[in-house]
Structure 1
């Protein structure tokens, strides 16, 4: 008896789903899609900095160079406690061997700055300290989630405008949205490693006393939606 009752419930549920599907297809509707995009300037810029012991008679230790770097960054208004981190937390130092089997140490950091002008000042100051192994690690936009939601809203509004434009010449109107698909691709962080050190050197060769205000590539963010609107008589 229980088995028969279960089969009956399944049949009723399946019939209900088929009826809903049929009702959806029977409703006259208009399908539109819309895409919006924008370009934004990054407001979080990460620089990778590597300090190595110097293989020379006047060798400078990693610790000595690190202290000088910290003083230089502080003079630029950088909060090293919040903006400067060691990249390899498991091991503060990396060691490498010379042909003479002598061991030298290196240390790698990640520095966060918020604009291109500060990034240019940092590179210029590191050049003065003979710390030339610096490159752009990645860029981010701090309000990416809010921006993506705003673009989705704009895309839906654009889809509605298109639907209005398509039905107006027919003397019809669109009603409520009966199906919405968000085809937007999430923004994936891009990691870059261009040799921005050369820009700082070119600035120095040009004899310009001002630090370089680096213009970073803008981030493209887009949103795409597909909407079905009910057509009203």
Structure 2
């Protein structure tokens, strides 16, 4: 008896699911897609700074250059505890074993600054300290996740406007959205290169001045696909 009770129940569920699918497919609809995009200025700039004893031919130790670097950064009111991290520590052990010379050490740091002007100042003061291996690692926008949500909403609104414009000449009414797909959200950031190019040195002066240029903006775009029922 249990088998006979179970089978009709299963059949009823399957039939109901099929009916739902059939009704959905029979609904007349309009499908459209839309893109919303914007440009934002990066507010998190990561610089890669490498100090190595080979740059000074062993005349200054890594520890000495590290101390000089930290003092220069603090002179710019940079919080080295929060903004400076050690990303790599290496030594040239191969030369040590093969030539039996002193190991020439190097350290690589990651420094976080918040605008192009600060990046230029960092490169300037570190150049004064004999540290010139400064590269742009990456740039970010701190409000990226919130911005993506805003762009998705804007793309949905644009898709609705497009659908209304397409149905108006047909004298048909646009119904509710019956399908929404977040097709793609892209972050396009092409900025990459050497930070020292951001600096200019004034003639007849010892001070460095940041060049009047800014980082390239980051492009963010969101694409959606929406199906609206037609009434």
Note whether the superposition's TM-score is higher than 0.5: yes
**1:5 to partner: Cα distance:** 3.8
Q: Secondary structure at the match of 1:87?
A: strand
**1:55 to partner: Cα distance:** 6.3
Give the alignment's TM-score, normalised by structure 2: 0.88
**1:195 to partner: Cα distance:** 2.5
Equivalent positions of 1:1-233 (< 5 A) are: 1-54=1-54, 59-88=59-88, 93-97=89-93, 98=95, 100-102=99-101, 103-185=103-185, 187=187, 194-200=193-199, 203-204=200-201, 209-232=208-231
| Count of paired positions | 225
Judging changes above 3 Å, is the alpha-carbon distance between structure 1 residues 6 and 206 closer, same or farther for their aligned structure 2 residues? Answer: farther
1:54–1:61 CA contact under 8 A, matched in 2: no
Judging changes above 3 Å, is the alpha-carbon distance between structure 1 residues 39 and 191 closer, same or farther for their aligned structure 2 residues? Answer: closer
More strand by share: 2
Q: Cα deviation per residue 1:177-206 (whole Å; 9 max; x = unaligned)?
A: 111111023548x69652232443xx2386
**1:49 to partner: Cα distance:** 0.4
Judging changes above 3 Å, is the alpha-carbon distance between structure 1 residues 58 and 22 closer, same or farther for their aligned structure 2 residues? Answer: closer
Q: Secondary structure at the match of 2:184?
A: coil
Unaligned runs of 5+ in 2: none
Q: Secondary structure at the match of 1:139?
A: strand
Aligned mates of 1:63, 1:70 — CA distance in 2: 11
1:116–1:213 CA contact under 8 A, matched in 2: no
CA RMSD of superposed structures (Å): 2.4
Unaligned runs of 5+ in 1: none
Aligned mates of 1:195, 1:137 — CA distance in 2: 9
Aligned mates of 1:158, 1:56 — CA distance in 2: 59
Give the alignment's TM-score, normalised by structure 1: 0.87
2:120–2:195 CA contact under 8 A, matched in 1: no
Aligned mates of 1:143, 1:56 — CA distance in 2: 41
Deviates more, 1:59-68 or 1:139-148: 59-68
Judging changes above 3 Å, is the alpha-carbon distance between structure 1 residues 19 and 36 closer, same or farther for their aligned structure 2 residues? Answer: same
